Every structure is written in C-alpha cells, then in structure tokens.
Amino acid sequence: MNPLILAVAMIAVQQTPAPLPEVEAKDLPAAPRGPISPPIPDLGSEASALGQGRRTARRGPSIPALQLPAGSLRVKDRIPDISGWRAYAIEVPAGGSVKVHVIEGRKAWFRVLGVNAWGQDEQGLLQNRIHTGEPQATYQNPTGAPRTIYFIVDTLDANMIGEPFTVAVTRG
C-alpha cells in the first residue's frame, strides 16, 4: 500500500478532542478563602493616581478567589476591579496535575501565577519559573494528599478593569 495514502487515511480517522465545557465566572461560587497577595513585582504599575489605586488594592491581606469545580473546563471571566487580578481555587488530588492557560482575550497583557495559600511557590509549582511566552502555569501535586492551589490571572497593564478573558483549566 502506498505510504502517502496510509498517512492520509490515518489523519482522516483521527478524532478531534471534544471541546471543554464552558462556564461563566459569575456562576462560580466564592472560595472559602483566597491566597495571600504574592510578593511579586507589579508589572502593570505606573506613576499616576490609577497606579497608586492599583498598588493600594493589591496590598490587601488576601485575594478573593472563585472555587473551580472538578474536571477540565473553560472559564469566561473579566478583571473585576482596579487590583488587576483574579484568583481561582483548585483542589488537586494526590498525584494529580492541573494547567491554567489564558486562551482568549489580549493574551500579551496577562500572566498566570500558581501559588499556595500563603501566596508563595511550593514544590510542584516550579514550572512557573520557566518563561514560555504564554500566560499559563501548571501544578503537579507531589504529595499523597489533596492540595488546594490558587491560580492568579494577573494583568500587565494598569487600566484593565472589565477586560474579558477565557482560561482553560486542564486536569491530568
């Protein structure tokens, strides 16, 4: 049999993966708690009244978070306030993994951070240190117990209140 025909036949029978279910952020419940504000530089700060308001909003004790359900999904959301970030709480089972990736919106103006409840890196979050040019972060749970990890979608510009974006949450 001709190898070219075989290759075309193999491509034709491959199935495309089913699209992820999509939810609106307004339909998600608030998490019992959010992460403490991480000690990171604010890449969207500026020397203006707007920049001062953003810095002040980021000094709060914690970031309000939305609780994500089990399973992979897409979340349509908007930047809610002047702080310029939105947090999601995700329960990761023992040995499980999760990836959060901004897939729609002005992707160049976003970054995704994975942190624990104290707003810090921990084992399994080291992937966040590798710059890929994509607004995404991953977590691989190395423990024998479920862990709650927080993913923060952060903006890189000061005035992005109401900016729409979509994140894909893929569990492994």
Report if residue 8 sits inside a domain. Answer: no
Q: Structure tokens of 149?
A: 């990890």
User: Residue 130 falls within a domain, yes or no?
Assistant: yes
pLDDT, tens digit only, all 172 positions of the chain: 666 665 555 555 555 566 889 999 999 999 999 999 998 878 777 788 888 888 888 887 889 999 999 999 999 999 999 888 999 999 999 999 999 999 999 998 999 999 999 999 889 986 666 677 789 999 999 999 999 999 999 998 888 899 999 999 999 8
- Stated as kind and residue range, the H or E segment containing 54 is helix 49-57
Number of structural domains the chain divides into:
1
- Which residues span the domain enclosing 100? 30-171
Positions of E strands within 22-146: 22-24, 65-67, 73-78, 85-92, 97-105, 110-115, 136-140
- Residue 82 located in a structural domain: yes
Q: Is residue 59 one of the residues assigned to a domain?
A: yes
**How many residues in the chain?**
172
Q: Is 39 exposed, middle or buried (0-12, 13-18, 19+ CB in 10 A)?
A: exposed
Rounded CA-CA distance 92/3 in Å is 44
CATH value at residue 150: 2.60.120.380
Asked if residue 132 belongs to a domain, the reply is: yes
Whether residue 121 contacts residue 73, with contact meaning beta carbons closer than 8 Å, is answered with: no
In a domain, 18, yes or no: no
